């Protein structure tokens, strides 16, 4: 039978009743101490009809922050806040994975303990500006991590994975995309190291694979996913041969039997910012026989087409789910969609967050 968005899927240890997933969306609405709050719980509860909720990116370390009011998963208070979120989602019949995150060089001293420079694989300053909470400033030049520090980075992901279990999540997704720390190690445009974590594709992929193995050690492979953005240029990213780089990573991940690989496709907006098509889930599918989730500008029609063609097994929807908390039911009825209010994507409070109306009846 040809699958569609409403075909259930056994995704590792989790059975999802549909293939309409909530993509990880940074919304900048955590409370003091980067602690999730009641508003966050309500937001996720409203979207519990998703086959799977993938949470917003969540920092595994105090050094992993680079945006205001984003959540963490390293303190007991953060765990308690997330526990209220997972309870709300489960009470509404949903399933939720936590996305584990470290921003690396996409930060500023105002977010770092002691005002120190952010860390990265190499001391290469990204182009662009960072919002410090008060003003927009140029990104600083990061400090290259010493070889002796890398086990500590892996330990931070393990700590975050353990805390996610305490918080009641159903699994975790490793954020290895969009120009953040693990992606910075992976690509040769941002990794100029000459040690065991730089140079060849195998060396640049080493941290990705070691972090994944370590997180699997906490959760088991069937409750771990990983997100990759092979064609992305966000956060000043580039790679000389992304098909080779990401093909190697996906082939190396295959024996781990993860719950899924979440591979984003290049959108028209990405291309307008310098990305090139031709490297994404469709092209990389031969390198990964496991379940593949994808995201990137999908509609109901294009999502069903990707599933039918076999290069995706589930579709993660971002902006459509942001503005339509009952997106699966709207798709089922072919009902009109709410219009998203971009001015409220990262603004505080409930407006544009928990006040989008559901379908009547």
Q: List, by residue number, the catalytic residues.
A: 180
Residue 339: CB atoms within 10 Å: 9
The first and second tokens of residue 347, run together, are: 């603004």
Q: Which residues of 30-59 are buried (b: 16+ CB within 10 A; e: fewer)?
A: bbeebbbeebbbbbbbbbbbbbbbbbbbbb
* Residue of 103, 251, 115, 120 whose CA lies nearest to 177: 103
10 Å Cβ neighbour count for 157? 27
Strands (E) located in 171-230:
171-175, 224-228
Closest CA to 50 of 10, 6, 12: 6
Distance CA 19, CA 205 (A): 29
Backbone angles phi, psi at 66, to 5 degrees: -150, 5
Closest CA to 358 of 331, 324, 307: 324
Which residues have a Cβ under 8 Å from the Cβ of 186 and sit 6 or more positions away?
176, 204, 205, 207, 208, 239, 245, 249
Q: Is 19 helix (H, G, I), strand (E, B) or coil?
A: coil
């Amino acid at each position: 039978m040809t699958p569609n968005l409403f075909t259930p899927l056994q995704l590792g240890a989790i059975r999802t009743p549909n293939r309409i997933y909530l993509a990880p969306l940074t919304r900048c609405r955590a409370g003091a101490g980067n602690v999730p709050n009641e508003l966050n719980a309500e937001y996720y509860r409203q979207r519990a009809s998703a086959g799977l909720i993938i949470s917003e990116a969540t920092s595994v370390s105090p050094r992993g922050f680079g945006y205001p009011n984003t959540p963490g998963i390293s303190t007991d208070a953060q765990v308690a806040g997330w526990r209220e979120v997972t309870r709300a989602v489960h009470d509404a019949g949903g399933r939720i994975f936590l996305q584990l995150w470290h921003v690396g060089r996409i930060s500023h001293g105002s977010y770092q303990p002691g005002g120190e420079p952010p860390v990265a694989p190499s001391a290469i300053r990204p182009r662009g500006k960072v919002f410090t909470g008060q003003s927009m400033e140029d990104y600083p030049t990061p400090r290259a991590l010493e070889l002796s520090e890398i086990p500590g980075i892996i330990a931070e992901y393990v700590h975050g994975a353990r805390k996610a279990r305490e918080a009641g999540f159903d699994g975790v997704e490793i954020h290895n995309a969009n120009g953040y720390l693990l992606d910075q190690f992976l690509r040769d445009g941002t990794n100029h190291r000459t040690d065991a974590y730089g140079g060849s594709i195998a060396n640049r992929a080493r941290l990705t694979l070691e972090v994944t193995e370590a997180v699997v050690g906490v959760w088991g492979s069937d409750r771990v996913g990983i997100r990759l953005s092979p064609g992305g240029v966000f956060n000043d990213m580039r790679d000389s041969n992304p098909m080779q780089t990401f093909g190697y990573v996906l082939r190396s991940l295959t024996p781990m039997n993860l719950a899924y690989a979440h591979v984003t496709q290049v959108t028209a907006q990405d291309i307008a910012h310098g990305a090139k098509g031709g490297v994404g889930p469709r092209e990389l599918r031969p390198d990964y026989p496991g379940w593949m989730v994808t995201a990137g500008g999908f509609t109901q029609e294009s999502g069903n087409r990707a599933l039918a063609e076999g290069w995706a097994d589930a579709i993660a929807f971002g902006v459509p789910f942001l503005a339509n908390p009952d997106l699966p039911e709207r798709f089922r009825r072919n009902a009109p969609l709410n219009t998203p209010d971009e001015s409220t994507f990262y603004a505080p409070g409930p407006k544009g967050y928990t006040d989008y109306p559901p379908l009547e009846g």
